[in-house]
Chain A
Amino acid sequence: MMDLFSYEFMQNALAASILASILCGVIGPFVVTRKMVFAGGSMSHSAFGGMGIACWLGLNPLAGALAFTVLAALFLSAAGKRNTEENDLLIGILWAVGMALGIVFIHITPGYVPDLMSFLFGNILLVPRGDLVLAAALTAVVTVSVIVFFRGFVSIALDEEFARSRKMPVKGLHTGLLVLVALAIVTLIQVVGIILVLALLTIPVAVAREFTIRFTRLMILSSVTGILLCIGGLAVSFSMNLPSGAAIILLGALLLGAVKAFRFFRK
């Protein structure tokens, strides 16, 4: 197994796994506790539109994904009032329009058509070094921002109304959090693809919260779970010749099922 890591693609895959796992822990708990899972899904699917346009323009698809997810985050913040029917509509529309745009632009892109499947479901074994540098930079930005604004993010995730009464800049913090989720999504897309991003933002948190009652520990445990899943999924993918993104997610679902079953029978 260790010999595997002498290959550059495996080293890159390992590095991408670690970066993704850090983000699982840093941003995932906020996505779950602030009930932003479907807003995250919408942003990740809108990334496909950006990837399609970037392909059509001959640019790096990841740059397109970055631009579109951030724009989607700003749009959701500006146009939608949280927990309203209108916001739900926006999430659904953004989700579908992003996908449609991606399909159209990839369809009209002349010459070489990039592998749609690796956009949608990710391929951690094909992460190039350049994209890894971008992922590392995004992970650093997200992590440092969460550390700096930690109290603010926790306050609005716990009780937005109370935070408003304490004169917290709730709107600014919410927008900031959405943008950080967008940046995290761009990194996670490389590992599990657009469609499976949601699972990586939620499964590690769902597993971790079975073991802790504190938010900071939830973040650390989610990261550790993410590392286990990414590296475990990588090994399963390599040894059984399965798509890596799907292997990671299914391993996560199995782990969550096992933890829940353990809890249930221990009661």
Chain B
Amino acid sequence: MKSLVRIENVTFGYGDHPVLEGVTLEIMERDYILVIGPNGGGKTTLLKLVLGIEKPWSGAVVLAEESLRERMGYVPQYATFNRNFPITVFDMVGTGLITGGNYLSYGKQSGRGRVEEMLHKVGLYEKRRERVTDLSGGQLQRALIARALVADPVLLFLDEPTASIDITAQTTLREFLDDMNSRIAIVVVTHDPTPFARVYKHILCVNGKSFLHGRGELDSHDLETLYGCPVELLGHGIPHTLLREHNGGEQ
């Protein structure tokens, strides 16, 4: 599989305080990575670095090709979205087509078909004329995913997509992402890996530093004790190979 993004020994922080130190990661085509870790550990910051929202203090984020810059979809944390903004579902999804390169010339009609296709895909076509405020939590999450997918990304980042949505909506979301993963790479920041337990390919543990694990390297006990993740389904039983580094020397 082809590499899409390489994060090479990246250090970054806010003010004088480093949040991430020496982080290295490679995201491959059709990868499915769960990013877990404690609050303030740098999970969202890592996404922002890959997306180019923040610039590393040192190290580099290297894209396989520059055109990837505009082919990365992003679903920010649900809670940060301005739900009271006066906009229809259709128009909100359409904003996913606007970029720094086209916002001066972008015409509303230009991506109409693509927006309709995405709304069908996430099951919100019937809601397209409704105001975003009127959507339920699960529906809004799907609309935000449609906005991220409308520009046809090859890499999709989701920040806490299962927070604030019920179990049914979580299942729908997971099935949808599972389907998308046959075409695109997915990176999910989450406090709760449970909904993705059957589908992920790697787990990235982030707490200042980062540790990438293949499927099955961590068991539910590791995740619960080290990261406070409420895991029920990750009982793989394979010994955790990096406990020493995680636990500051204790195993």
Contact = CB atoms under 8 A, between A and B. Distances in A.
A158 B82 contact: yes
Contacts of A240: none
Contact of A155 (B53, B86, B95, B151): B95
A152 B103 contact: yes
B3 to A, nearest CB: 21
A166 interface: yes
A212 interface: yes
Interface string B179-209: 0000000000000000000000000000000
A157 interface: yes
Contacts of B151: 166
B86 A215 contact: yes
Given A169-B100, A213-B88, A164 B95 contact: no
Given A151-B103, A158-B95, A165 B72 contact: yes
A164 B53 contact: yes
A218 B99 CA distance: 24
A254 B150 CA distance: 44
Given A151-B98, A155-B95, A215-B85, 11 more contacts: A148-B104, A149-B104, A157-B82, A158-B82, A159-B81, A166-B96, A166-B98, A167-B100, A167-B101, A214-B88, A215-B87
A168 interface: yes
B51 A165 contact: yes
B100 A166 contact: yes
Contacts of B69: 167
B80 interface: yes
B106 A151 contact: yes
A162 interface: yes
Interface residues of B, number: 31
B92 interface: yes
A158 B100 contact: no
9 contacts: A154-B95, A165-B72, A167-B70, A167-B100, A167-B101, A168-B98, A168-B99, A169-B100, A215-B87
Contact of A162 (B74, B86, B91): B74
A166 B99 contact: yes
A161 interface: yes
B131 interface: yes
A158 B74 contact: no
A152 B80 CA distance: 19
B87 A161 contact: no
B232 to A, nearest CB: 31
A165 B54 CA distance: 10
A148 B106 CA distance: 11
B86 A214 contact: yes
A60 interface: no
Nearest to A219: B86
A24 to B, nearest CB: 15
B87 A158 contact: yes
Nearest to B69: A167
B43 interface: no
Given A33-B86, A155-B95, A214-B91, A162 B147 contact: yes
A37 to B, nearest CB: 14
Contacts of A149: 103-104
Interface string A210-245: 001111001000000000000000000000000000
A161 B76 contact: yes
B52 interface: yes
Q: A-B pairs with the 3 shortest C-beta distances?
A: A167-B100, A213-B131, A165-B74
Contacts of A166: 70, 96, 98-100, 151
A224 to B, nearest CB: 16
Given A151-B98, A159-B81, A165 B86 contact: no
B72 A158 contact: no
A120 B131 CA distance: 39
Contact of B76 (A157, A159, A168): A159
Which of B53, B70, B103, B104 is most buried by chain A, counting CB atoms within 10 A of its CB? B103
A129 interface: no
Most chain B Cβ neighbours within 10 Å, of A162, A166, A167, A214:
A166
A148 B105 CA distance: 9
A159 B95 CA distance: 10
A162 B76 contact: yes
